[in-house]
Amino acid sequence: MTESLHKQASFLTLILHLVQARSEPTDMLRPTYGIINIIVYVIQICIWVYQLTSSKPIAEEIAKLFFAIVSFCGSLGFIIYGGRLFLMLRCFPNESQGRRKKLNEVGLLTGICGLCFLIRCIMVAVSAFVKNADVDVPDHPILNFIYYMLAEIIPSALVLFILRKLPPKRVSDQYHPIF
């Protein structure tokens, strides 16, 4: 899910810059986004290595807090860029073709993705400080199922459902379906 949300965030950012038609070049937008992702992944790998080599319990708290911060930044990014794009699309004339559909798409995606990352941020941050509130509970598979269903699977399914685009049905002159 994280990879699809990264792509969605990049997509929202690119659309926002293109719609605004600023004089700023957008050719550096994707490389900048990629560099930020690489930096986050390198920091995460360093934290994992520190966790493996250190026997201190603070290593796990650092990993959870870093993940909470990354989730919060993702939530903030979706809310800021998605909200700006939503407000910008609202300014288009009502007669614009596809305006309502795009408004619904952007609004729903912004809300779902922002809320998903915010829930994950809160859950991971709480689990970093409260020992009984661990997110990954090997003894309780039902709790794991509920958490991942609410934080990952349902939001992913909703995003796929909202962004579904089926090709129009083609009717061939040579082929007629049998009823």
Q: What is the pLDDT of residue 45?
A: 92
pTM of the model: 0.70
Q: What is the pLDDT of residue 1?
A: 47
Name the nearest CA neighbour of 123 among 112, 133, 114, 113. 133
Confidence of residue 46 (pLDDT cuts 50, 70, 90): very high
Domain ranges of the chain: 2-162
Q: What is the pLDDT of residues 8-41, one digit of tens each?
A: 566 556 555 555 555 556 667 678 878 888 998 9
Name the nearest CA neighbour of 103 among 164, 162, 158, 157. 162
Measure the CA–CA gap between 41 and 10, rounded to whole angstroms.
16
Q: What is the pLDDT of residues 130-150, one digit of tens each?
A: 877 777 666 677 878 888 888
